[in-house]
Chain A
Amino acid sequence: MKHKKWIKMPNGKLVRRRPDRLSLFLAENEPLLSMGTGSVYSLDGIEQTQNQHQGDHTRGYDNRNFAGCEVTIMGAGSVGSHLARALGAAGLLMNSIDYKKVQLKHTLGNRTIYDSTLVGQKKVFALKKKVEHDFPGAKVDPYPYNVGEIPNVELKSMFARSLVVVLAIDDPVQIVRISDLAYPIVELIQVAMHAGGLSGHIAVCVPFAAPCLRCTLNISGSQDIRRLDSEPANSLDIVTVVQQAARIAIDIMCSKITGQHITRWDTSKNLIYIANTKHEKISPDGPGIRFESSQKRPGCPICNSH
């Protein structure tokens, strides 16, 4: 909301708005709650030692570390929109790219975060409305374009500014193109749902350290990936996968900002498979999650050229 330049006083006179000195003072003299200072702060402001939080993987998590940091989310469908909402609390600047419009079917059963009042609007603008309304401090920069129409130079520039790029699209050609482009620049997280939403996966590609998306998925090209259109799925299953992806994205961003190591998961394992139901090999008793490592394939043009 834009502030008015003049304020009308009770006596009817107009007074020019001036910055609130108290707010400025408090902002400038706020205690620095930086991570790794040997102490954490609880919500009631009482300082506590780290020993009381041994093993707490959210130790030191502070939204203010992310304020103004940029993240790029490709796709604003069911995965992309739920992911943007999951990241909303971090107060990030989110670049959202999608050219499609919200349809009624997208709003049924909470398939996406959009409601019926947003039908007919471009998804990225609807996303901006929802996220910025629900999470003050979060900002969405909408890009209502087809990813395929954005030239490499523009994408590379956006990737260079971003802490993490999340790939939540199902266009096989663009998945491969973007993952190849992003590999030497920024951490890429591909989030995708499988048939019926019974499972999903998260592939984490860290430049130079982890294999590229081609090697992680063991694909030779975009022809190997098949898009499932209008796939029926339970929205809770989608959110389950998205929540994991959001936590992984937050961990990576947190590590990049503070320089702390990621301790919540084994970073050498860059493929996370989430089963939303019983899985013969991975979790025979019920829903489960498996972290698995991938190998750089000899002769891969993406992994081995850097």
Chain B
Amino acid sequence: MSGNSLVLAGQKSRFSTPAIGQTVVRMPPSPMVLQTLMQTLANLNAKVDALATRPVQVVEVRPVEVSPVEVRHVEVKQVEVKPKENAPQQKVDRKSLWDIFD
């Protein structure tokens, strides 16, 4: 894909009308905004200084004692599956479904 802006715009030659330049007028910042900004910067600097000059903290870590756990086998009784007592009675002889054609 071409990066030429004239190609993208579908123009075969330069634009006939001259481009009108725009002058950006910058407004000076208000003193209140400047003061707030400077105050925030001063606070941040104070925090960074406090972090840099703090004493080194030593953390004691106790070794973890591991107590052996006795493992024993659990005997599970074999569950006997019984048909539901209130299961609906089947009237359709399933063997009659075995001889089929399509």
Contact = CB atoms under 8 A, between A and B. Distances in A.
Interface of A: 75, 77-80, 168-170, 191-195, 199, 201, 203, 217-219, 224-229, 231, 233, 271, 273, 281-282, 290, 292-293, 295, 298
Contacts of B92: 201, 271, 273, 281-282, 290, 292
Contacts of A170: 100-102
Given A192-B102, A218-B95, 17 more contacts: A170-B101, A192-B97, A192-B101, A194-B97, A195-B99, A199-B96, A201-B97, A217-B97, A224-B98, A225-B100, A227-B101, A228-B101, A273-B92, A281-B91, A290-B91, A290-B92, A293-B88
B72 interface: no
Of B87, B91, B94, the most chain A CB neighbours within 10 A belong to B94
A79 B101 CA distance: 9
Contacts of B5: none
Contacts, number: 66
A295 B87 contact: yes
Given A217-B94, A298-B81, A292 B100 contact: no
A218 B94 contact: yes
A202 to B, nearest CB: 10
A77 B94 contact: no
Nearest to A231: B101
28 contacts: A168-B102, A169-B102, A170-B100, A170-B101, A192-B100, A192-B102, A193-B101, A193-B102, A194-B97, A194-B100, A199-B96, A201-B92, A217-B94, A218-B94, A219-B98, A224-B98, A226-B98, A227-B101, A228-B101, A229-B101, A231-B101, A233-B101, A273-B92, A281-B91, A292-B91, A293-B88, A295-B83, A295-B87
